[in-house]
Every structure is written in C-alpha cells, then in structure tokens.
Amino acid sequence: MRSIPVNIGNKTIGGGSPILVQSMTKTDTRDIESTVNQILYLEEAGCDLIRVAVPDIESAEALPKIKSKIHIPLIADVHFDPLIAMESIKQGADKLRLNPSNIQDEEWIKRIALAAKERDIPIRVGTNLGSFKERPGNPVEALVKSALDEINLLESVNFGNIVVSIKTSDITLTVRANEKIAKLIQYPLHIGITEAGPKEESLVKSSAGIGHLLMEGIGDTIRYSITADPIEEVKAGLTLLRDLHLRGGGLEIVSCPTCGRCEINLFEIVERVKEDFKWVDIPVKVAIMGCVVNGPGEAADADIGLAGGRKSGVIFRNGKAVRIVKEEDLYSVFRDELKRFIESKE
C-alpha cells in the first residue's frame, strides 16, 4: 500500500522509501551527554530515527544541543502541554509526536500545526489504547476514529505533513486497526506493538504483529517496544526487515536447532560466527547445519555454508562443496572462508 512521502530531517518515509527502524532513548533528555551517547550507540547499531521524551521546557531546550552531536533525525515526544510542543518546534525537532487524547484543546493543536508547517516539521499522530480514560466498547473503531479526528483537525489548517501510528499491546487489535486505517488514508504509518514487555516476550509479540502488517504492505517505519537496552529494539527491527527481504545488510544465519544426529559443536560455531562477523553490513547468507539430513541442501543454498558430519564438516561456497575439514579445525577454516567470501563481495 503506497503512502505519500514525508521528510524527517535527512530521511524520507513513505512513498516507496526503505522502511526505517526507530527507537527511543531511555535517558533523561536534560542529561545531554548521556542522551547523545545513547543515540550514537544506537546509530552505530543501525537506528534510523530516534525519539526522546520531552516532558518539560528544559528537555525541549536541550534538543538543539543533542541534535548538533548526532547524525539521525531527532523526534520530540510531547504529551499534555502544548507549550512544550511549541518550544520543541522552536528548538528544531525534526518531527513532533503528539497523542490526540493528551492535548484536547483544538485551538492549541491548530497553533502547533501552523508552527510546524512554518518550519516544515512533520507531526506524528500517535494513538494508543492506553490513552483512553475508559476502554472503548469497540477498540478498533475507537482507535481509528481518534486518529482520523486528529488528522481532520490538522488538515483543517492545511497541514498535511502527517505520520500516523496506532499501537496497542494486543497483537490482534493493533493489526486490525492498522489494516482499517491503511484503507482510509495515504499518510505513512509507523507500526509496532506498544508496551510489549521484556525481551523474550516482546520479540515474539512484536514480530508477530509487525511482521503480519509488513507482509500485507502496511508500515513505513517500525519500532520494537522492549523493556531492555534500546539496542535490542534496533537489532530486532533490522533483523525482521532483513528476514522479510525488505532491507539488506549483515549476516543472515540459517542454522538447525540440532538433534541427536549432530556430532559437532554447532552451538559454539554459530555463536562465534555471530560475534566475529557482527561488523558485516553487506547481505550475506550463511548456513550452519548439524548433519546430512538438511545440511548439504541448506549449505548449498547459502552464499557460504557448513554441513556437519561425523566429527567433521563440509564447507560449501556458492552452492558447491569446497572442503572437508576435521572438527578441531572446522571453525577456523570456515571463518577464513567466510572472511574471504565477504572480502570478495566488498
């Protein structure tokens, strides 16, 4: 589903642009040094857009200092106080996130929209189920209506630089609401499962919801919401996009879960490959398989692969077996073959 393009700083979402991965800092925005350090850390991991909490004027005043030291667009997350939204615009935020339920004065919203329009700053209409004072009888309809009402209000002052987000902590509700609104608007959609929980739980819930929508062609930016280090959000988002063939880059490791037929230390090999080649940013498919059942086929289908045997392994490159190696030398030989393959691609 093609959305209209919206520019956020030096990035573009929608209009067929690559799907971007967002995260949000866990720091006090007033602590400029800590906030910058965390953003630079996330940039290095591949984060495309970063959001910071702006709960007060002092946080808004920190935005230009933070922005001057980072390289990705800076999004101000504002709730309740329209004066903070206006100050965030004045201080040069690349995008503003507003929640329709939290600033209800329509005249203030119009003033915010006109100020954002003057500086060409997009506004994200972010609707969450948790923002309703009481749970609505039909959550999907209520979420969509809340977003549409806010869009109509912004459009009433000829503001169309809009990104829309409808999130809940429930996979089915989130999917249905996004499916519905995607048929009604052409603005880019930011998707995710909000408050998805600790790492393990969030990875499952978020991948199910975000992956479902992306495979339907819905979504222009994504965020995994994880109660953990924000780098986990970035890693998960990039991995999902790569595995859905929506973005390239980095190793795609195909490996078996192992069973009683496996006679090599596959767990160790997989972990060492992940650690030693985490720097790779070009798309490379690597198969690391434990036995002869599916091993040779998967290894031959990858750019480079390894299929285990009896205390040994066969190394494949570009679909062809190139070496048989004893287990004690297996990782070092495979590592060198993989390194040569990557160098040949670069």
- The rounded distance, in Å, linking the Cα atoms of 224 and 205 is 9
Q: Tell me, what's the pLDDT at 278?
A: 83
The residues spanned by each domain of the chain are 6-243, 251-345
96 CB neighbour count, 10 Å cutoff: 24
Q: What is the mean pLDDT of residues 205-222?
A: 97
Examine the pLDDT at 137 and tell me if it is beyond 90.
no
- For the chain, count helices (H), then strands (E): 11, 15
Position 1 scores a pLDDT of 60
pLDDT (0 to 100) of residue 60: 98
CATH class of 251-345: alpha beta
Rounded mean pLDDT, 315-323: 90
Q: How far apart are CA 315 and CA 301, in angstroms?
A: 12
Question: Of 40, 49, 63, 45, which Cα lies nearest the Cα of 14?
Answer: 49
Nearest Cα to Cα of residue 45 among 68, 16, 22, 67 = 22
| Residue 196, pLDDT score | 86
Residue 335: predicted pLDDT: 93
Does the structure show a pLDDT above 80 at 72? Answer: yes
Which of 116-120, 127-131, 324-328 has the lowest average pLDDT? Answer: 127-131
pLDDT at 100: 66
- Average pLDDT rounded to a whole number, residues 264-271: 91
Res 334: pLDDT: 93
The CATH code belonging to domain 6-243 is 3.20.20.20
17-55 pLDDT tens trace: 999 999 999 999 999 999 999 999 999 999 999 999 999
**265 touches 288 (CB < 8 A):** no
Phi, psi of 27 (to 5 degrees): -90, 165
Which residues partner with 49 through β-bridges? 22
Q: What is the DSSP string of 188-228?
A: -BEE--TT--SHHHHHHHHHHHHHHHHHTT--SEE----SS
Top pLDDT among 178 and 265 is at 178
Give the helix ranges, DSSP H, for the chain: 32-45, 57-67, 82-90, 106-118, 139-155, 171-182, 199-215, 231-243, 266-276, 295-301, 327-345
Range from 72-76, 89-93, 96-100, 184-188 carrying the lowest mean pLDDT: 96-100
At 225, which amino acid appears? S
Dihedral sign from CA coordinates of 68, 72, 77, 81: positive
| Cα distance between residue 203 and residue 206, in whole Å | 5
Sign of the CA dihedral with 95 first, then 96, 100, and 104 last:
negative
The pTM of the full predicted model, rounded to 2 decimals, is 0.88
